[in-house]
Amino acid sequence: MLPGTDRMPDVIPWLILVPLVWASLAFLRGPGRGGRLALAGLAVQTGLAVKLAMQISISGVQSHAVGGWGAPLGIDLYADGLSAILLLLTQVVVLLLVVYARAYFIAHPEGVSYFWPLTGYLLAAMNALFLSADIFNIYVTLELLGLTAVGLVAARGGTESVGAAMRYLLAGLMGSGLFLLGVALVYGTYGTVSIAVLAPLIEAEAPSAVFVAVGAMLVGLLLKTALFPFHFWLPPAHGEAPAPVSALLSALVVKASFYLILRLWLQPFAPLVTTAAAQLLGLLGMAAILWGSAMALSQTRLKMLIAYSTVAQIGYLFLLFPLVTVTSQEAAESALQGGVMQVVTHALAKAAMFAAAGTVILSLGRDDIGGLGGVASRLPVSIFAFALGGITLAGLPPSGGFIAKWLLIDGALNSGQWGWVVVMISGGLLSAAYVCRVLRRAFLPMEAGARFNSPARALEWSAFTLALMSLLLGVRSAEVLILLGIR
């Protein structure tokens, strides 16, 4: 190959531009329009994300200066293995959810409103977030992500959804305000916001203002990630939204702010983080697992049960901080791999579970768990998808959730912190308990006189594909972990 021809065209800016373009076109076409545009756009984006992942695995981290300006006045974009995994995950999950949502909104047209353009803008914000190389750009993308997510929650327009959207908006604004305060203090101290430039500066010297900054950014991001006790806004926002929106928010949006915590914790702020802070995050994660599972067990409505299960599963993500901080390299590496696998498998499984629940609710016209009788025989594919998602949450082999929990447990044992193992295993048992609570009802006979509409096949099979992927990831996890190793 000639030296000039191996310079592959830059895919990075297109991952942000493509969703912006189709979202704007969908917006111009008016409410309820744009499903086909979304499908075409997502197909292109998935291709781009695959291409980026291949480029990264061949030639290492990729970067791009927007418009050729470069930092500090221009914006730099940057992608390593971790960003590639999340980009790929986002495009694949949303592609399947687009297939699901098209069928869903045909059966349920009053909920659609501006779903398509908002989804496109949400994707543009999320892709930009995963590609950001400086903390100010991260703030902007975080805010855009929050605003579009609020729009999606509010779209149905009833008191419950607008109230949930308002609560979500205020919590989000508080979170991003705290993050921006941190950015201001970091910029005031070091005169730069670039993550790569900050890392050596922080390692050399960190005045007390930087500790305040890191604290503010961390609390802001925890609020956005809905870690216990900041989870209060999540169950209403995720439970009240239409099913495709719940799936989008629970599977992906909370992961975006978690990704930021992880990235900032591992890269520029690594010299500042203490064992005490890491243990505190682990303890909050444990509280989230126990509280979220207990609340899920006591819910009467199906979607609220799944929303509380998200609160619990977010807790798992935070168990990785005590394991990656001030421990052996080996333990830290397997904990990090476990945490990222948990992000990926939970996204797939939770999207599948919300999608399957949406199908069930559409068919029955009600969403109380008590009225689920007979669903297993009428909607076997949806209930199978829900159960496969549940297997991943509970961490049973051969699911991706099993690999995630295995790696986390490995990290805990290697660093001598076996207490966390107890938490992980009991969390798995609790998830099995609330999933079985739903399944037990679904296998009971149907109530006499119950209403039932057969759903479109696309609804059932898109959820099933998501669930199957979360299961099969357990067999194909090596590729993900190799990609993660490229930093």
Partner 1 sequence: MSTALLFPLTGAALFVMGVAGLLLQPHLLRKIIAFNIMGSGIFLILVGLGQRGGSPDPVSQAMVLTGIVVSVAATGLALALARRLLDLTGKMQLPVPGEDAARDGPDA
User: Which residue, 104 or 115, has its beta carbon nearer to partner 1?
Assistant: 104
Question: Per CB under 8 A, which of residues 14..43 are in contact with partner 1?
Answer: none
Q: Is 358 in the site for partner 1 (CB under 8 A)?
A: yes
- Residue 152 and residue 146: Cα distance in Å, rounded? 10
Question: How crowded is residue 276: how many other Cβ atoms within 10 Å of its Cβ?
Answer: 9
State the DSSP string of 242-258. Answer: -HHHHHHIIIIIHHHHH
Q: Is 203 in the site for partner 1 (CB under 8 A)?
A: no
Q: What angle do CA 148, 145, 405 make, to 5 degrees?
A: 125
Piece of the chain touching partner 1 by CB under 8 A; list 5-13, 76-84, 90-98, 359-367: 359-367
- Residue 256 and residue 125: Cα distance in Å, rounded? 10
Q: Is 136 in the site for partner 1 (CB under 8 A)?
A: yes
Q: Is 455 in the site for partner 1 (CB under 8 A)?
A: no
Q: Is 158 in the site for partner 1 (CB under 8 A)?
A: yes
Residue 143 CB, nearest approach to partner 1 (Å):
5
Residue 364 CB, nearest approach to partner 1 (Å):
9
Question: Per CB under 8 A, which of residues 253..312 are in contact with partner 1?
Answer: none
Position among 99, 150, 198, 383 found at the interface with partner 1 (CB under 8 A)? 150
484 contact partners, CB below 8 Å, separation of at least 6: 81, 82, 85, 336, 337, 340
Residue environment code for 117-136, b if the CB has 16+ CB neighbours within 10 A, otherwise e: bbbbbbbbbbbbbbbbbbbb
Position among 20, 162, 450, 472 found at the interface with partner 1 (CB under 8 A)? 162
| Separation of CA 4 from chain center | 38
Position among 242, 292, 322, 411 found at the interface with partner 1 (CB under 8 A)? 242
Piece of the chain touching partner 1 by CB under 8 A; list 22-30, 149-157, 318-326, 329-337: 149-157
Residue 158 CB, nearest approach to partner 1 (Å):
5
Q: Is 111 in the site for partner 1 (CB under 8 A)?
A: yes
- 249 and 152 Cβ atoms separated by less than 8 Å: yes
Residue 216 CB, nearest approach to partner 1 (Å):
9
Q: Is 181 in the site for partner 1 (CB under 8 A)?
A: yes
Question: How crowded is residue 143: how many other Cβ atoms within 10 Å of its Cβ?
Answer: 18
Residue environment code for 342-378, b if the CB has 16+ CB neighbours within 10 A, otherwise e: bbbbbbbbbbbbbbbbbbbbbbbeebebebbbbbbeb
Position among 49, 99, 361, 407 found at the interface with partner 1 (CB under 8 A)? 361
Q: Is 368 in the site for partner 1 (CB under 8 A)?
A: yes
Position among 15, 96, 185, 383 found at the interface with partner 1 (CB under 8 A)? 185
Largest CA distance in the chain: 73
Q: Is 159 in the site for partner 1 (CB under 8 A)?
A: yes
Q: Tokens 């545009």 sit at which residue?
A: 37
State the DSSP string of 286-354. Answer: HHHHHHHHHHHHT-SBHHHHHHHHHHHHHHHHHTHHHHHSSS-HHHHHHHHHHHHHHHHHHHHHHHHHH
- 247 and 94 Cβ atoms separated by less than 8 Å: no
Position among 20, 173, 280, 439 found at the interface with partner 1 (CB under 8 A)? 173
Residue 437 CB, nearest approach to partner 1 (Å):
19
End-to-end C-alpha distance for the chain, whole angstroms: 27
Q: Is 177 in the site for partner 1 (CB under 8 A)?
A: yes
Position among 64, 108, 197, 277 found at the interface with partner 1 (CB under 8 A)? 108
Q: Is 220 in the site for partner 1 (CB under 8 A)?
A: no
Position among 76, 80, 143, 333 found at the interface with partner 1 (CB under 8 A)? 143
- The dihedrals phi and psi of 4, each to the nearest 5 degrees, come to -75, -30
- Residues in binding contact with partner 1, number by CB under 8 A: 50
The pair of three-digit structure tokens given for residue 289, joined into one six-digit string: 């697992």
Give the binding site for partner 1 (CB under 8 A). Answer: 72-73, 104, 108, 111, 136, 139-140, 143-144, 147, 150-151, 154, 156-160, 162-167, 169-170, 173-174, 177, 180-181, 183-185, 187-189, 191, 193, 236, 242-243, 358, 361-362, 365-368
